[in-house]
Amino acid sequence: MSGIDHEWDQTEVNEEGRAQRVADKIADGSYDAEVVDVSMFESAGGDRYCAWWFRVSGGVCDGAEVQRFGGVNSQTIQWHKQDFLRVLGRSPAAADVYDEERNQMPAATKAECMGVRVRIIKRTRTVKGKTYEDVYIDHRLGGTARVQEPIGTRERRPEQPPESPMPEDRDAPSASYIEEDIPF
């Protein structure tokens, strides 16, 4: 079976025909990664969300794709703005991260984020019996990894320097999600 045939068989699709992207499982720790997708949108219920996708580069998790996903509201907005500050080196205006008419992130901001190399931290926590896999953006590593590739492609990266220790004070809200958690 060719690589594309395997990927075809593994891709899930929901009733509306959109492919369901599933984050890879990786161990808790810090990883060098690149931004491979970022979006901001509102659900049918009117709640706003921000989703970041990262591809790990180097180490045993090389090529794994993980997600940082969370609701954007008055309690979490500072953390989302901090993510953009860490990736872009600046905190963009609201109109630069969300276009209400199109219900999406403006293409210019999305393109500016794509390929940026960052250090991410993955941490698992359990709250009231439910397990969450949180991914945080720690800092920008500098530059871009490469010219943007189509989302979902995975190419191997050369080994990166050893991982730095995970900070103990990472309490910013973040959550993995299950499709039924979002009221679309």
* 116 occurs within a structural domain: yes
* 111 occurs within a structural domain: yes
What's the pLDDT at 9?
74
pLDDT band at 149 (very low <50, low <70, confident <90, very high): very low
Q: Tokens for 46, please give them.
A: 């009117």
Listed in sequence order, the residues at least 6 apart from 132 whose beta carbon sits closer than 8 Å to its beta carbon are 124, 125, 126, 174, 175, 176
What's the pLDDT at 99?
94
pLDDT higher for 93 or 19? 93
Q: Is 73 within 8 Å of 64 (Cβ atoms)?
A: no
Least confident range from 14-23, 111-120, 125-134, 146-155: namely 146-155
Distance separating alpha carbons of residues 48 and 70, to the nearest angstrom: 9
* 132 occurs within a structural domain: yes
Q: In this prediction, what percent of the chain has a pLDDT beyond 90?
A: 64
What pLDDT digit, counting tens, does each position of 78-90 carry? 999 999 999 999 9
* 163 occurs within a structural domain: no
Q: Between the CA of residue 64 and those of 42, 75, 126, 146, what are the distances in Å?
A: 27, 30, 23, 17
What's the pLDDT at 4?
67
* 43 occurs within a structural domain: yes
* 171 occurs within a structural domain: no
Nearest CA to 67 among 167, 148, 147, 175? 175
Q: Tell me the residue range of the domain where 94 lies.
A: 22-146
Q: Is 55 within 8 Å of 36 (Cβ atoms)?
A: yes
What pLDDT digit, counting tens, does each position of 123-144 carry? 999 999 999 999 999 999 975 5
- Give backbone dihedrals phi and psi of 80, rounded to 5 degrees, phi first: -70, -40
pLDDT greater than 50 at residue 74: yes
Distance separating alpha carbons of residues 167 and 43, to the nearest angstrom: 33
Report how many domains make up the chain: 1
* 172 occurs within a structural domain: no
Which residue blocks in the chain are alpha helix, DSSP H?
A: 3-10, 77-88, 94-97, 107-113
* 183 occurs within a structural domain: no
